[in-house]
Structures are given as C-alpha cells and as structure tokens.
Amino acid sequence: MTQRAIRAPAMTFRGDPFHLAPGEALQYWPDALILIEDGKFLRIDDAESGLAVLPGDVALTHYPDALICPGFIDAHVHYPQMQMIGAFGAGLLEWLDKYTFVAEQDFADAAHARDVAKRFLRELLRAGTTTASVYCTVHPQSVDALFEESVRFNTRMIAGKVMMDRNAPEALLDTAESGYAQSKALIEKWHGRGRQLYCITPRFAPSSTEAQLEAAGRLWREHPGTYVQTHLSENQGEIEWVRQLFPERSSYLDVYDHAGLTGPRAIFGHAVHMEEEDFACCHRTGSALAHCPTSNLFLGSGLFRMFDAKKVERPVRVGLGTDIGAGTSFSQLQTLGEAYKVAKLGGHALTAEQGFYLATRGGAEALRLDDRIGSLAPGYEADFVVLDLKATPLLEFRLSHARDLAETLFVLMTLGDDRAIRATYIAGEPVYERDRAESFVYPEPTP
Ligand SMILES: [Zn+2]
C-alpha cells in the first residue's frame, strides 16, 4: 500500500453546469488535502482537518499558488498528424489529400511510429491531458506504438487503427475484411490491458464503403465495451460528398446509424453542421460529440452549436477535442479559449465552469468513463493537473486582480497554455513536473 498526500487549492465537478447553477455543479476547496492510495483518491478534505489525521510517514507535497483539477480529457486527436500541424491554406478535403495522407504513410515504419508516439504522449502530459481518444493510422504498428508508450506512463488511452477502403492513396487502404481482422487482433491484444481501451476507427464515411462500415458495426457488437470514433458533418463539401456516396440515407449521421455505429461509446468528431434530427439521434442513441474549436476555425469548417447540443430537453454528451493536426494546440486551456469564441459568435457565452467541465467531467461522461476519471473523488483514478497561477508574469498580474474562482478559471481559459501546467499526475504519480531536471519520468510498474 503506497500513500501520498498533496496540499493545494482544488476543484472538481459534481454535476453539469450547463444544467445546474455553478454553485451546485462545482466543488471547490480553497486549501485541500488530497490523500492518494494505490493510484486512487482515498479522500479529499480541507487541509486543516486532513492534516490533523494524516499519518506522519505519508509523503506530503505542497503546491501553493496553484489549483488542482482533474486531468484534462481530449475526446478527438490524431497522433500521426503531429508532424503536420499548421499546414497552410486548405479546406478539409484538400488538406487531407495534400498533407494528411502524405504524413500518415510514414507510419508504415514502426520506428517512426514509436518516435512520434513518444513525443505525442509527452505533449499530452505537458498540456495536462491525461486521457485521449486517439486516431492512429491504417497500420496496426501505429496502434502498437501508441499503446506501448501509454502503458509506460500508465495513462488511460483510447485508440484504434484507422479503417479506410476507398478514396485514399493505395498505401493507406485496407479492405472491409482486412480492416475487420486487423482491428479484431488489436482489440484482443490491447483492449482492457492495464488502462488501455480500444476504439474501432473508420476514418469517415467517404473513405469507407458500406461493407466496411457494416463490418465495423459488427466488430463493435461482438466486443462490448470497446469504442467507435469517426468524423461527422465537419464541412459542407464533405457533407455533399456523403450525400452523393450514400443517396439512400437521410443524413450523414444516418449513414453511421444504419451501419450500427451509433450508441454509448460512439464518439463523433466535429458535428458542426447538424440538423435537429441529428442531435435527437445522438441523444436517443447515447452517442457523444467531440467539439474541436481550434480545428474548425483553422480549416474554416464552421461553428459548433454547443448550446443546441446541450439543450435540456434532449441533452447530447459533448467532450472537447484538440483534433491535432487540423487543431492548433494540445492545450485544453487554449482549446477552451477558442470554444468560448466559437460559442460567442453563435450568440452564447460559455462560462468558465462550463468550459472546465467540458475538459474534465464532461469529457469523461462523453467517453462513458465518468465512474473512474474526470473527478476528484474517493475511489477515482488519481489523474490530475497542478495549474500554476503564476506561470507567466502576465498571468500572475492578471490573476492578482481576479475576484473569485470563476474569474480565475476564465482567465486561465484566455491566457493559459502548457506553461500553466506545473505538474501532471497519472494514477497518483507525478509523471510530468515542469520544473524538474527530468520533466518526464515513467512510474514504477505496478506489481
Ligand atoms: Zn479528426
């Protein structure tokens, strides 16, 4: 039994601030004592009462001028696209052809995949992200590389092999049969191994035949507990293309629904151009959406309608995605800053509480992991971030004028980035400490 104690201000969500008053949804400890045992939170108390009962032999780390929150959750990200962030001038379909499909071919080389996977996990941790739903490439070795690195850090990752059997370069194509067989072998190898979870990953409807989408749906039904992720209604040209490829379907989402790819643990990236019936389908089936504001702005795709998605009559689960590399930052703080602007252009003000909820507990709800991550609560896996309220001279000065927690959080959404992440803990272990000589340390493997 290993115990560790952390003292710092801390916050977590008990409910959804889109539907509850901030005071009901958010719990805040101005000075908390967090006790961790064997990788999970044992208790969270006010420091005064927690210190009074803390056994003398438990290591205590104190972070003044900080704020602890649950680890950030990235509901949509492509690790192979790290090498092409900031590719100039294209809309979605041209961007895929010109840049993405070129970069992804490099992942046939397992050594290249391992190198990028290693850098990717470090960027996530540097940004305070402790769980992500990750697209690999069509190559099974790209999935192995990602999960192998995640096992080293003991992070909870969701990932899968991209399936594509048409409308992509020959070198990136599988078939309905080989995509099914390779994905099945990867599920058997990785799903539920430690904290790793498998995600069946048809890239998007235009690059999969109906036979492949149906095979993906069959595979999902055969392996309860696995995930499905794909793209949905990102761009008008893409939507028109789907209409031509699947003329018998009533909408883009109906293509997936028809193939049995909607339901709990289905995550649809973007969903920018949605009809009421699409939101209703997501609500009815329990499917989740990943809002990727930096990507939608970068490619000029459009404005996600967060407040429509979250309508109280038929709420849809929504997580926040960076969508690297159409997205432009690994930081969920920067992503929230852009989510605020996207909502504002749509006539709504996204509060700081709503923002931080999306990045933590809301993301966990979207990924159906809200019984184990996304909150600071006894029994939960101890993945959390230490935010540095004095990370930069500007942040320190600005926050010295903040009147309350909501303002502090909103300024973090506006000015914060990876510099504001002082430490990232995975299952109770400080695997990333910004100011440590060796910033990244693999935890001791658990026996
Ligand atoms: Zn994407």
pLDDT score of 2 more than 80: yes
Query: Cα of 64 to ligand 1 centre, how many Å?
Result: 38
The type of residue at 367 is L
Both structure tokens of 172: 């990136």
What is the tens place of the pLDDT at every residue in 235-252?
999 999 999 999 999 999
Q: What is the mean pLDDT of residues 208-228?
A: 98
What is the tens place of the pLDDT at every residue in 89-140?
888 999 999 999 999 999 999 999 999 999 999 999 999 999 999 999 999 9
Query: Cα of 290 to ligand 1 centre, how many Å?
Result: 9
Phi, psi of 443 (to 5 degrees): -70, 160
Query: Cα of 421 to ligand 1 centre, how many Å?
Result: 25
CA angle 60, 62, 67 (to 5 degrees): 130
HSE on the CB side for 328, CA within 13 Å?
16
pLDDT score of 447 more than 60: no
Query: Cα of 76 to ligand 1 centre, how many Å?
Result: 6
Question: Measuring CA to CA, which residue among 137, 143, 145 is closest to residue 198?
Answer: 143
Protein residues within 5 Å, CB atom, of ion ligand 1: 269, 323
Query: Cα of 14 to ligand 1 centre, how many Å?
Result: 30
**Structure confidence at residue 288 as a pLDDT band (50, 70, 90):** very high
Q: How far is CA 359 from CA 172, 223, 246, 317, 378, in A?
A: 32, 28, 34, 12, 20
The DSSP secondary-structure symbol of 207 reads: G
Query: Cα of 414 to ligand 1 centre, how many Å?
Result: 24
Query: Cα of 231 to ligand 1 centre, how many Å?
Result: 6
Query: Cα of 67 to ligand 1 centre, how many Å?
Result: 31
Neighbours of 95 (CB within 10 A): 20
Residue 89 is predicted with a pLDDT of: 85
Query: Cα of 321 to ligand 1 centre, how many Å?
Result: 9
| Run of H or E residues at 404 | none
The DSSP secondary-structure symbol of 71 reads: P
What is the tens place of the pLDDT at every residue in 293-318?
999 999 999 999 999 999 999 999 99
What is the tens place of the pLDDT at every residue in 185-195?
999 999 999 99
Average per-residue pLDDT for the chain? 97
Query: Cα of 390 to ligand 1 centre, how many Å?
Result: 33
Query: Cα of 81 to ligand 1 centre, how many Å?
Result: 9
Query: Cα of 137 to ligand 1 centre, how many Å?
Result: 12
Are 73 and 359 within 8 A, CB to CB? Answer: yes
Question: Measuring CA to CA, which residue among 442, 444, 388 is closest to residue 153?
Answer: 442
Q: What is the mean pLDDT of residues 162-169?
A: 98
Query: Cα of 37 to ligand 1 centre, how many Å?
Result: 36
Query: Cα of 142 to ligand 1 centre, how many Å?
Result: 16
**If you search the block for the tokens 């960076």, which residue do you land on?**
322
Query: Cα of 134 to ligand 1 centre, how many Å?
Result: 9
Residue 446 is predicted with a pLDDT of: 64
Query: Cα of 184 to ligand 1 centre, how many Å?
Result: 22
Query: Cα of 269 to ligand 1 centre, how many Å?
Result: 6
Cis peptide upstream of residue 321 (ω within 30 degrees of 0)? no
Cα separation of 351 and 149, whole Å?
Answer: 35
Query: Cα of 150 to ligand 1 centre, how many Å?
Result: 20
Query: Cα of 279 to ligand 1 centre, how many Å?
Result: 19
Query: Cα of 223 to ligand 1 centre, how many Å?
Result: 24
Query: Cα of 234 to ligand 1 centre, how many Å?
Result: 9
**Structure confidence at residue 444 as a pLDDT band (50, 70, 90):** confident
What is the tens place of the pLDDT at every residue in 43-99?
999 999 999 999 999 999 999 999 999 999 999 999 999 999 999 988 899 999 999
**Structure confidence at residue 261 as a pLDDT band (50, 70, 90):** very high
Query: Cα of 244 to ligand 1 centre, how many Å?
Result: 22
The DSSP secondary-structure symbol of 230 reads: E
Query: Cα of 136 to ligand 1 centre, how many Å?
Result: 11
Phi, psi of 282 (to 5 degrees): -60, -45
Query: Cα of 363 to ligand 1 centre, how many Å?
Result: 16
Q: What is the mean pLDDT of residues 268-288?
A: 98
Q: How far is CA 396 from CA 32, 75, 158, 387, 400, in A?
A: 21, 30, 35, 12, 6
Query: Cα of 344 to ligand 1 centre, how many Å?
Result: 23
| Run of H or E residues at 251 | none
Residue 216 is predicted with a pLDDT of: 98
Threshold 0.95, pTM exceeds? yes
What is the tens place of the pLDDT at every residue in 328-386?
999 999 999 999 999 999 999 999 999 999 999 999 999 999 999 999 999 999 999 99
**Structure confidence at residue 165 as a pLDDT band (50, 70, 90):** very high
